[in-house]
C-alpha cells in the first residue's frame, strides 16, 4: 500500500517537473563531475589524483547523500556529467573515462556510477528538495581507439550511421560538424546526425531517458559539432530545456546557436571570455570588454536571460589558476548572478580550486572537507538574493541588465532595482573610488547585501564606492525591498523553497565582438580543451 502511494506520488512529480526554458530562467545551477563530487563511506579520501585520469569513486548515490552542501548554498538545480555507458577497455593515452564523455552505448547506463534505481533515487531526492536535475548528453560522437573500429559494441552499429573519418578543420563549418573530434590517440567517431534512422533512434532514446529518470533539462556536449537542424527535433522530443556547449567566445559566432531553429540556450562563452579579460589578475583588466559583450549580446542573442553564465567548467582552467586574487573571483562571480543569464557554478569553484585545464580542473571535492569558505558564503548570499528576486512581483528576471558605468577599474550593472558595482583592483586597499549615477533619488536608502552596509544615495543619484579596504563587490538593493528576503537582518518570509514558474520575455539584434581582446591564453584553451571533454 505504502509502495503504491509512493509510486503514485512519484508519478505526479514526474509530470510536475520536466522543465521548460522559462522555468529554468530563474534557476541557479551547480555543475558536478559525478566521479569527483563525493566519496562513498569507507573509501580512501587521499587516493584521488586528477592528473592520473582515472576513477576516484563518486557515484549518483554519493551526490544524493550530499545535496545539503549544494542546497544550503542556495542552488536550485544540479547539472551532472553524462550517465550513459562509456568505453570499456584498456587504459588509453588519456586515461580512463571517469568523466563520462566517452560514449559507447547510450541505451545502457554507466554502471560505474550506479544502477537505474540509484539514478532515479537521485532524481527523486533532487525533486523532493524542489530542485531541478540537468543531465549532460553526448550526441555528436562516440569514442574509439581506432578509425576502423568494430561497431558491434556501439549503440549505432552500421557504418553509414557515422560520418567517414577526417580530422576536424576548424576553418570549415562542414568539417566541424561532420569530421571527428579527438585525435589519433583517442578518436571520437562522428555520429551521422543527418541519417534518418539515427535521428529517430536518438529522439526516441532521449524522450525515454527524460521520462524514465524525470530529467528537467539537458546540457548538450559539443553542440556546435552537430548540424543545427538536428536540435529542434531532438530537444522537441526531450520536451525539456536544452543548453548547448558552443565553444565560441565571439558573440557573432555563438549567438546563431540559440533560437527556435537551434537550441533554447548556450553556455555563455563570450561573457566568460569578457569576464576573464575584465577581472583576472594578472590580466588585461579590460572592463570595456564586458560592456562591449553585454551590448553585443543584447543585440545578437535571441534571449540573454537564458544564457548559462559561468567562470569555470571541466574544459577551462579554474578561475584561481588564471587569477590569483580572490576578490577577482568574488567580483566576476557577482556579475554571473546579478546580470542577465542563468548562473552556473562548477563544483570546487567555491573551494578556490586552482587546477589548470583538463585533467587538472577535475579535482576531487572531498579534500576540501566541504568547508564553509568565504566564496561559499558569498555564493550563498548571491543565490539567496537571486532566489528572492526571482520570486518577487517586479519581474526582476525579465528586466534586462543595463550598464550604468564603466570606469577604468569599475563597472556597474543595474538589473531591475539592483545595482552591482564591481571592480578589478583586487584585494590590496587602494585610494580609488568609483562613482555611479543611478536612477535613484537623493537620500534613497539602499543596502549592500554582501556587507549589509547601508548606502544612502547622494545628489543626482550618485553612489560612491571607495576601495580603501580593498576591492570588494557591492550589490545595492533598496532597503525596503529586502523585507522577506532573510538577508541582512530582514526576516525571511515563511516559505518552502520556491519552485515558482515565470512568464516570458526576449531580446534580439546584431553586432560584433572583437576577437583581439581574447587573450592568447583563452585562444589556446579554446583550441585545446574541448577535444576530450
Ligand X SMILES: *[C@@H]1O[C@H](CO)[C@@H](O)[C@H](O)[C@H]1NC(C)=O
From the list 96, 124, 190, 245, the catalytic residue is 245
The answer to the question of residue 504 lying near ligand X (CB under 6 A) is no
By CB under 6 A, residue 433 contacts ligand X: no
- Give the H or E element holding residue 132: strand 132-137
Annotated binding-site residue? 319: no
d(CA 475, CA 485): 14
Indicate which residue of 221, 250, 358, 363 is catalytic: 221
Q: DSSP letter at 95?
A: B
Of the chain, the end-to-end C-alpha distance in Å amounts to: 46
Asked whether position 178 contacts ligand X by CB under 6 A, the answer is yes
Using CA atoms, how far apart are residues 423 and 430, in angstroms rounded to an integer? 11
Residue 152 near ligand X by CB under 6 A: no
Lay out the site mask for ligand X across 233-272 (x = CB under 6 A, - = otherwise).
----------------------------------------
Per-residue interface string for the shown chain with ligand X, residues 386-415, x marking contact by CB under 6 A: -xx--x------------------------
CA distance 391 to 436: 27
Burial class (CB in 10 A: 0-12, 13-18, 19+), 451: middle
Is residue 147 close enough to count as binding ligand X by CB under 6 A?
A: yes
Q: Which residue of 498, 507, 511, 519 would you call a contact of ligand X, by CB under 6 A?
A: 498
* CB-count exposure of residue 110 (10 Å: 0-12, 13-18, 19+): buried
CA–CA separation, 346 and 446 (whole Å): 31
Active site residue 252: no
**Binding of residue 373 to ligand X (CB under 6 A):** no
Which CB atom, from 94 or from 437, has the smaller least distance to ligand X? 437
Q: Which of 103, 289, 332, 436 binds ligand X (CB under 6 A)?
A: 289
Q: Which residues contact 334 (CB under 8 A, 6 or more apart)?
A: 378, 382, 420, 422, 450, 473, 475
Q: What does the alpha-carbon distance between residue 441 and residue 404 come to, in Å, rounded to a whole number? A: 15
CA angle (132, 335, 252) in 5-degree steps:
90
How far is residue 56's CA from residue 383's CA, in Å, rounded to a whole number?
Answer: 30
102 carries a ligand binding annotation: yes
Among 66, 255, 286, 297, binds ligand X (CB under 6 A): 286
Indicate the residue whose CB is closest to ligand X.
495
Residue 165 sits in the site that holds ligand X (CB under 6 A): yes
Verify whether residue 245 is a known catalytic residue.
yes
> Using CB under 6 A, which of 72, 158, 204, 501 touches ligand X?
72
- CA 20 vs CA 16, 277, 455, 504: distances in Å: 11, 33, 38, 11
Taking each continuous run of H as one helix and of E as one strand, the counts in the chain are 16, 20
Instruction: Give me the residues paired with residue 344 across strands.
Output: 29
- Taking the least distance from each CB to ligand X, the nearer of 451 and 498 is 498
CA angle 6, 8, 10 (to 5 degrees): 70
Among the listed residues 172, 200, 374, 504, the single contact to ligand X using CB under 6 A: 172
Per CB under 6 A, contacts with ligand X among 446-485 are 460
- The reply on whether position 431 binds ligand X by CB under 6 A is yes
Question: Is residue 455 part of an annotated ligand binding site?
Answer: no
**Is the CB of residue 147 less than 8 Å from the CB of residue 189?**
yes
Among 355, 364, 426, 471, binds ligand X (CB under 6 A): 355
Nearer to ligand X, 383 or 447 (CB): 383
Interacting span for ligand X (CB under 6 A) from 54-62, 97-105, 240-248, 286-294: 286-294
Binding residues vs ligand X (CB under 6 A): 72, 147-148, 165-166, 172, 174-175, 178-179, 184, 284, 286, 288-289, 292, 320-321, 324, 354-356, 360, 372, 377, 387-388, 391, 431, 437, 460, 491, 493-495, 497-498, 500, 514, 517
Catalytically annotated residues: 221, 245
Residues that constitute the known binding site for substrate: 53, 102, 219, 315, 362
Amino acid at each position: 500500500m505504502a509502495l503504491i502511494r509512493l509510486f503514485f506520488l512519484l508519478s505526479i512529480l514526474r509530470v510536475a517537473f520536466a522543465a521548460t526554458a522559462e522555468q529554468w530562467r530563474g534557476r541557479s545551477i551547480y555543475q558536478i563531475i559525478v566521479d569527483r563530487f563525493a566519496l562513498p563511506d569507507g573509501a580512501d579520501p587521499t587516493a584521488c589524483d586528477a592528473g592520473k585520469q582515472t576513477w576516484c569513486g563518486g557515484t549518483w548515490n554519493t551526490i544524493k547523500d550530499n545535496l545539503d552542501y549544494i542546497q544550503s548554498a542556495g542552488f536550485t538545480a544540479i547539472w551532472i556529467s553524462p550517465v550513459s555507458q562509456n568505453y570499456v577497455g584498456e587504459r588509453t593515452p588519456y586515461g580512463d573515462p571517469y568523466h563520462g564523455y566517452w560514449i559507447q552505448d547510450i541505451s545502457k547506463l554507466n554502471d560505474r556510477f550506479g544502477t537505474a534505481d540509484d539514478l532515479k533515487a537521485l532524481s527523486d531526492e533532487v525533486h523532493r528538495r524542489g530542485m531541478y536535475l540537468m543531465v549532460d548528453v553526448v550526441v555528436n560522437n562516440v569514442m574509439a581507439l581506432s578509425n576502423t573500429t568494430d561497431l558491434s559494441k556501439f549503440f549505432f552499429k552500421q557504418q553509414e550511421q557515422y560520418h567517414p573519418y577526417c580530422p576536424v578543420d576548424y576553418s570549415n563549418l562542414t568539417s566541424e560538424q561532420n569530421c571527428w573530434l579527438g585525435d589519433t590517440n583517442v578518436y571520437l567517431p562522428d555520429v551521422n546526425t543527418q541519417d534518418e534512422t539515427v535521428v529517430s533512434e536518438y529522439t526516441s532514446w532521449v524522450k525515454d531517458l527524460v521520462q524514465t529518470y524525470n530529467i528537467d533539462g539537458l546540457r548538450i556536449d559539443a553542440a556546435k559539432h552537430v548540424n543545427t537542424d538536428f536540435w529542434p527535433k531532438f530537444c522537441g522530443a526531450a520536451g525539456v530545456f536544452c543548453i548547448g556547449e558552443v565553444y565560441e567566445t565571439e558573440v557573432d559566432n555563438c549567438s546563431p546557436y540559440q533560437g527556435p531553429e537551434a537550441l533554447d540556450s548556450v553556455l555563455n562563452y563570450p561573457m566568460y571570455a569578457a569576464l576573464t579579460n575584465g577581472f583576472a589578475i594578472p590580466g588585461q583588466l579590460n572592463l570595456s570588454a564586458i560592456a562591449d559583450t553585454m551590448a553585443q549580446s543584447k543585440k545578437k542573442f535571441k534571449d540573454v536571460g537564458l544564457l548559462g553564465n559561468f567562470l569555470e567548467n571541466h574544459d577551462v582552467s579554474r578561475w584561481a589558476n588564471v587569477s590569483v586574487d580572490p576578490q577577482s573571483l568574488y567580483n566576476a562571480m557577482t556579475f554571473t548572478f546579478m546580470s542577465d543569464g542563468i548562473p552556473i557554478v562548477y563544483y570546487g569553484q567555491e573551494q578556490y580550486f586552482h587546477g589548470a585545464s583538463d585533467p587538472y580542473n577535475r579535482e576531487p571535492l572531498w579534500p576540501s572537507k566541504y568547508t564553509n569558505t568565504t566564496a561559499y558564503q558569498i555564493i550563498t548570499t548571491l543565490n539567496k538574493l537571486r532566489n528572492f528576486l526571482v520570486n518577487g512581483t517586479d519581474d526582476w528576471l525579465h528586466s534586462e541588465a543595463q550598464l550604468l558605468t564603466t570606469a577604468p577599474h569599475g563597472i556597474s550593472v543595474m538589473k531591475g532595482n539592483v545595482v552591482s558595482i564591481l571592480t578589478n583592483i583586487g584585494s590590496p586597499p587602494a585610494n580609488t573610488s568609483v562613482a555611479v549615477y543611478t536612477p535613484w533619488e537623493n537620500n534613497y536608502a539602499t543596502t549592500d547585501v554582501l556587507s549589509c552596509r547601508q548606502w544612502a544615495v547622494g545628489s543626482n543619484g550618485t553612489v560612491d564606492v571607495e576601495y580603501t579596504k580593498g576591492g570588494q563587490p557591492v550589490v545595492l538593493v533598496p532597503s525596503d525591498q529586502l523585507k522577506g528576503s532573510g538577508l541582512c537582518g530582514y526576516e525571511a518570509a515563511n516559505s518552502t523553497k520556491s519552485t515558482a514558474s515565470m512568464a516570458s520575455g526576449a531580446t534580439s539584434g546584431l553586432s560584433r565582438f572583437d576577437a583581439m581582446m581574447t587573450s592568447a591564453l583563452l585562444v589556446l584553451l579554446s583550441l585545446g580543451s574541448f577535444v576530450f571533454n
